[in-house]
Structure 1
Amino acid sequence: MDKKQRKIVIVGDGSVGSSFAFSLVQNCALDELVIVDLVKQHAEGDVKDLEDVAAFTNATNVHTGEYADAHDADIVVITAGVPRKPGESRLDLVNRNTKILESIVKPVVASGFNGCFVISSNPVDILTSMTQRLSGFPRNRVIGTGTSLDTARLRVALAQKLNVSTDAVDAAVLGEHGDTSLVNFDEIKIAYQPLNTVTTVDDQFKADIEQAVRGKGGKIIEQKGATFYGVAISLMQICRAILNDESTELIISAPLAGEYGIHDLYLGSPAIINHNGVEKVIEAELSDDERGRMQHFASKMLNMMNVAS
């Protein structure tokens, strides 16, 4: 029996899609990588560039294509969408990017695609929820990058503040990928020790760390126009976990079905990822106040999503 071919389709070859493709070819033993973009010339240029990378790493067949190429893919990754402008929130993008999403998801599903959708377009939690609605796919086979990037920024901020390696920081950001995200300070550990035994965790400390996490994306956009390296690695880790059936715990935009008292919405949470997509959502410990804040903003996001649809 022939070994199943490992295939991923990327929709959107902007800064995120291109960086993700670069990371993917380096870190995942793919047989085929298809890049779909409205700007065909740019995608073809990326293919030529990535062919050179494949010669150094894995012998991946990289080529441009169409939505119909998704028919036998393991994963379709959607990075396409209007990027955030300086001073603009992720939620400002809802209406514009929902229309773009619909134009992608419908033809992909029509191709006969039966794998996992992975979404990084913003606002990622709403667009991941919308992808599941539009596709009709089981919730476990639709995944968003969620607060994975926020979590990386939290680890960096804490490591820099405390002068330790990021490897020593065990911390997570939950909820919306955006300004209402939650940093659960009570659960943070530094070199396996509770944070409050390592440093004074007062209101000022929390405010400084939260500002470092929430403000970093805006600063990067202001200075270089877009953020893409961090989310590219997050996408690669999710896809690698699916392809390799890793059953690894990652922070993602996860389908909530009662976790945190929230239903029918994707939000940042730890989850186990394997060949089924989301094998299990892990409900993190939250205080009553944090849980209430998460539910409040989830309600607002559901209303916004219902209006957009």
Structure 2
Amino acid sequence: MEAKTSKVSIVGAGAVGATLAYAGLMRGFARTVALYDINKAKVEAEALDLAQGIQFMPEATVLGSDDIGVVEGSDVVVITAGAKQQPGQSRMDLAGATISLMDKVLPPLIKAAPDAIYILVTNPVDVVTLASLKKSGMDPAQMFGSGTALDTSRLRHQIAAKCDVAVGNVHAYIAGEHGDSEVALWSSASIGGQPLKEFRGRDGEIVMDEAAREQIHHDVMRSAYTIIEGKGATNYAVGAAGARIVEAVLGDQRRIMPVSTLIDYPGVGEVCMSLPAIVGRNGIEHVLEMPMDDEERAALEASARSIRETAERFDAV
């Protein structure tokens, strides 16, 4: 009896797609990794470059093609293709072009790999995920966006640096939109089991006071703009985040991650937005109810409204 092996297909061989493939291969997230892109020369070159480094990674087969058939048999399909965010441009400004691209690419993808879990890693991820779900008819558990997994990583990195602790000891989430209206859930944040707002440094003083929290939230929210202004695109952290979500699915890890999934938000309607959710082999297993104060609840509702308004503007609901 032939052993079943895992296959991950990545749609888009640009900076994010190639970096996600590299991060995943280094971690050994699948036995077969396929890259699909309409640019034949680019996708074949990226696949060859990755394949020639396999000696130094966990064993895997790397494929690259402009033929949609390369994704057949995929367990997970990660879509990174989309309009490129320019310096000073908001993620929401990208909505129209990226939604139009999804209209073209999703039907043949789903036909080729109907049973795969689909993860969207393209901006604006919340609106694009909602439009993709509505137009494809896919189960929301089976298709979701990378959401604020990256923003949460940025938040934890900043908190760890400020508090001088290992980032693995920080538990905090960004919720809502992956973008300008995102919400830091300070009420549930902790370090080593201690509420974040009560954490004291070596000098015995509270580290994360209101001013520190506001500055960190601002820096996290502006991170992408800063990186794009400096180097033209973000790719390393988002590639690593995407690879980590794939691992949670393929390994059935039931890992809690803030990913963008369909929610019927009270008073707003259906939106795709991020809340911590359990991610496993069947995709989104369960969305968690997080403790929040009144300010956080109001901000999360405003974020949901922002996403919904943009979705309606692009007929994505």
Coarse TM-score class (shorter-chain normalised): over 0.9
For residue 15 of structure 1, what is the aligned residue in structure 2? 15
The alignment of Structure 1 onto Structure 2 pairs a total of residues equal to 308
Instruction: Confirm whether residue 270 of structure 1 aligns to residue 276 of structure 2.
Output: yes
Question: 1:73-222 maps to which residues of 2 (within 5 A)?
Answer: 73-198=74-199, 199=206, 201-222=208-229
Hey, what's the Cα distance between the residues in 1 that align with 2:142 and 2:290?
Answer: 21
How far does residue 196 in structure 1 lie from its aligned partner after superposition?
2.1
Deviation at 1:230, TM superposition (A): 0.9
Deviations 1:151-203 (A, max 9, x none): 11111111222222212211111111111111121222123211222225544
Please state if 1:283 is matched with 2:289: yes
CA distance in 2, matches of 1:273, 1:261: 27
- Give the corresponding residue for 2:41: 41
Deviation at 1:112, TM superposition (A): 4.9
Q: Which amino acid aligns with 1:20?
A: L
* More off after superposition, 246-255 vs 92-101: 246-255
- Counterpart pick for 1:299 among 300, 305, 311: 305
30 and 195 in structure 1: CA distance in 2 versus 1, 3 angstrom threshold: closer
User: What is the CA deviation profile of residues 219-273 of structure 1, one whole-angstrom value per residue up to 9, with x for unaligned ones?
Assistant: 1111111111111111111111111111121221123245x77652221111111
Q: Residue 67 of structure 1 contacts residue 104 of structure 1 at CA under 8 Å; is this kept in 2?
A: no
**Alignment partner of 2:258: what SS?**
strand
The CA distance in 1 between the partners of 2:111 and 2:100, in whole Å, is: 17
**Match in the other structure for 1:5:** 5
Task: Specify whether residues 169 and 261 from structure 1 end up closer, same or farther in structure 2 by C-alpha distance, changes over 3 A only.
Answer: farther
Q: SS where residue 139 of structure 1 aligns?
A: coil
Q: Partners of 2:51 and 2:61 in 1: how far apart?
A: 8
3-state DSSP of counterpart to 2:141: helix
In terms of mean alpha carbon deviation, does 221-230 or 282-291 score higher?
282-291
Quick check: 1:6–1:30 contact (8 Å CA) kept in 2?
Answer: yes
Offset of residue 286 of structure 1: 1.6
- CA shift for structure 1 position 206: 2.5
Contact 1:187 1:194 in 2 (8 A): yes
Query: Where is the helix percentage greater, Structure 1 or Structure 2?
Result: 1
| Deviation at residue 34 of structure 1 after TM alignment | 1.3
Change (3 A) 1:261 1:25: farther
Identity of aligned residues (%): 30
Q: Work out the CA distance in 2 between the residues paired with 1:18 and 1:286.
A: 37
Whole-angstrom distance in 2 between the partners of 1:267 and 1:29:
26
Distance 2:56 2:14 in 1: 23
Does the alignment pair 1:245 with 2:257?
Answer: no
